Amino acid sequence: MVSRGVIISAFGGSFRVASEGEIFVCTAKGSFRAKNISPCCGDNVMISQSSGEYVISEILPRKNEIVRPPLANLDQIVFVCASADPPPNLLNLDKFTAVSVYKGISPVIVFTKTDIGDAEKYAEIYREIFPTFCIDNGTGAGVDNLKDILRGKFSALCGNSGVGKSSLLNNLIPGAMARTGEISRKLGRGKNTTRRTDIFPLPEGGYIADTPGFAAFSTERYDLIFKEDLPGCFPEFKDYPDSCRFKDCSHRKEQGCAVLKALKEGRINPSRHRSYCEMYSEAEKLRTWQFKDRR
Ligand SMILES: Nc1nc2c(ncn2[C@@H]2O[C@H](COP(=O)(O)OP(=O)(O)OP(=O)(O)O)[C@@H](O)[C@H]2O)c(=O)[nH]1
Ligand SMILES: [Mg+2]
Ligand SMILES: [Zn+2]
């Protein structure tokens, strides 16, 4: 028996693969490790049966991948930020959305906890750039708007621990968190902190992955973007670079810079431009060899 499926969970070397309406618990062929690739959630795989066990025998080519959390073949990443408790870190959000654009995965932004924070203030910055939603997970207000953009696509919920990813998942798919909650209880942990990535089918069609949160404010390992590629990762800059006086304009302090003009006239948000400058300085410090082992 050989059949094709999709990995919907990966934990401790055990994989659940959805194939032809069934779920198979599989191990991975040892040779993947030798080739330094490991199967991850979202992978399209071939599974076969050998001496009564299901084994992932092949990983089909990925259209894209992210390393943390490990996921492949995404259409969208939903970056979830709390509007309070903890307040959002916009520099990190701008870094993550830039990497997402760089990889050709559409960013979507959700500000949760509208009941205790000024989500609208933050959403204002992003609404014209990326699809942006404000959601109260307690009442479910705002969830329906998000459903439209998830329909028929494979999306992942990503963001710091405690921002409300699993609560949002539960609003999208009633009962989903109960399932993951059971898992964390079995592991003997008090909180319902998500420990592993799981993929769920959406009632409206499409799939969504709930992922473990990043530790608060940790971006020490996000993907690197060459400084030349950086303006292209800020979609709201795209109308301007051709009109800058200098062809190699870095859009930070040059004379005749069209991006700076747009910033001054309020067409580009200062907070976004600050993040851009910060990322540009970081990119300047990079040497080409640091890109060598980039995945
Ligand atoms: N007030 C308020 N609290 C919320 C909201 N959404 C989630 N919470 C609370 O925030 C806490 C964390 O929610 P989770 O959904 O577990 O967060 P998470 O992002 O999945 O966290 P990790 O699994 O650790 O990454 C829980 O106590 C939730 O009840 C919201 O919209 N408003
Ligand atoms: Mg969670
Ligand atoms: Zn410029």
Question: What is the CATH number for 281?
Answer: 1.10.40.50
Number of other CB atoms surrounding residue 277 within 10 Å: 14
In a domain, 219, yes or no: no
120 and 187 in one domain? yes
Mutate to test the pocket of ligand 1, among 79, 137, 177, 218 (most ligand atoms within 8 A of CB): 137
Distance 232 CA to ligand 3 centre (A): 12
Pocket of ligand 1, beta carbon within 6 A: 112-113, 115-116, 136-138, 161-167, 192-194, 212-213
71 and 36 in one domain? no
Tens digits of per-residue pLDDT, 54-113? 999 999 999 999 888 889 999 999 999 999 998 999 999 999 999 999 999 999 999 999
Distance 242 CA to ligand 1 centre (A): 43
Do 236 and 272 form a contact (C-beta atoms < 8 A)?
A: yes
135 and 196 in one domain? yes
168 and 75 in one domain? yes
38 and 102 in one domain? no
Residue ending a domain, choose from 176, 210, 244: 210
- pLDDT range class, residue 1, cuts 50, 70, 90: confident
As a whole number of Å, the end-to-end CA separation of the chain is: 33
Query: Which amino acid, residue 100?
Result: S
205 and 77 in one domain? yes
Distance 261 CA to ligand 2 centre (A): 42
**Number of structural domains, the chain?**
3
51 and 84 in one domain? no
Strands of 84-144 (E only): list them. 106-112, 132-134
Is the confidence at residue 220, as pLDDT, over 50? no
Is the confidence at residue 219, as pLDDT, over 70? no
In a domain, 84, yes or no: yes
Residue ending a domain, choose from 162, 181, 210: 210
184 and 122 in one domain? yes
175 and 82 in one domain? yes
Mutate to test the pocket of ligand 1, among 167, 184, 192, 198 (most ligand atoms within 8 A of CB): 167
Stated as kind and residue range, the H or E segment containing 182 is helix 176-186
77 and 105 in one domain? yes
Distance 181 CA to ligand 2 centre (A): 9
In a domain, 221, yes or no: no
For the chain, give the mean pLDDT: 88
Ligand nearest to the CA of 140: 1
Whichever domain contains 184, its CATH number is 3.40.50.300
In a domain, 249, yes or no: yes
Tens digits of per-residue pLDDT, 144-203? 999 999 999 999 999 998 899 999 999 999 888 665 544 444 444 446 788 888 999 999
CA distances from 24 to 10, 49, 75, 194, 210 (A): 12, 10, 24, 22, 20
In a domain, 154, yes or no: yes
Residue ending a domain, choose from 33, 59, 85: 59
274 and 196 in one domain? no
In a domain, 263, yes or no: yes
147 and 238 in one domain? no
- Here the tokens at position 223 are 């993907």
In a domain, 215, yes or no: no
State the residue range of the domain holding 201. 65-210
Closest-CA residue, ligand 1 atom 14, reads 164
